[in-house]
A and B are shown apart, each in its own frame.
Chain A
């Protein structure tokens, strides 16, 4: 069962445009991670956010953790074709050591 809902599911934009991907849950979580996965490869960790309201920047990517720690967003400024991929949020599975992934957002940036 997916506990993290991502939106949009698919996104196709032109190079240079901005976009935001959302990750939402009905329950509070202590921290959250964002990954990017390219076709035929494993996911690569982008960032971990742990504090409600926290904002982290990674070049053109801005990650925000909601104040209530139930949601997170990823904003990409001036998207480039190299940003194309599947973006996944993920959280820990409560008392277990499992990683639970969101439903995913497939981004395509057209040159």
Chain B
């Protein structure tokens, strides 16, 4: 299958700072990327869908000013957690698809964010 990477794999930051997480599709062009959030031992919750070159579509309850998503190229999407708080601590996972089909998503390895 296709390879998707995330960077960093782990990050610890102080409250009030911003953190950027990168999601890269290494061997295919990702027209659509998805960002998920996962709490310990729980399922994945979709945060937003981003299509290359356009604004992200956020799920209900997700603050778009808090979680800034940029999908500037067909191989890179970024999630920036602004003014981070301890409750933002979580496991963030991205996935990428090279066509607008939900069943062709390739998942990244995730990023563990800890906000002190």
Contact = CB atoms under 8 A, between A and B. Distances in A.
A92 B103 contact: yes
Contacts of B45: 101
B49 A41 contact: no
B107 interface: yes
Interface size range on B against A: 20 to 34
Nearest to A89: B43
Given A48-B103, A99-B46, A100-B46, A42 B93 contact: yes
Nearest to A31: B103
Contacts of B43: 2, 86, 88, 101-104
A11 interface: no
A98 B33 CA distance: 10
B44 A101 contact: yes
B42 to A, nearest CB: 6
A40 B38 CA distance: 11
Interface of A: 2, 31, 33, 40-45, 48, 86, 88, 92-93, 96-104, 106
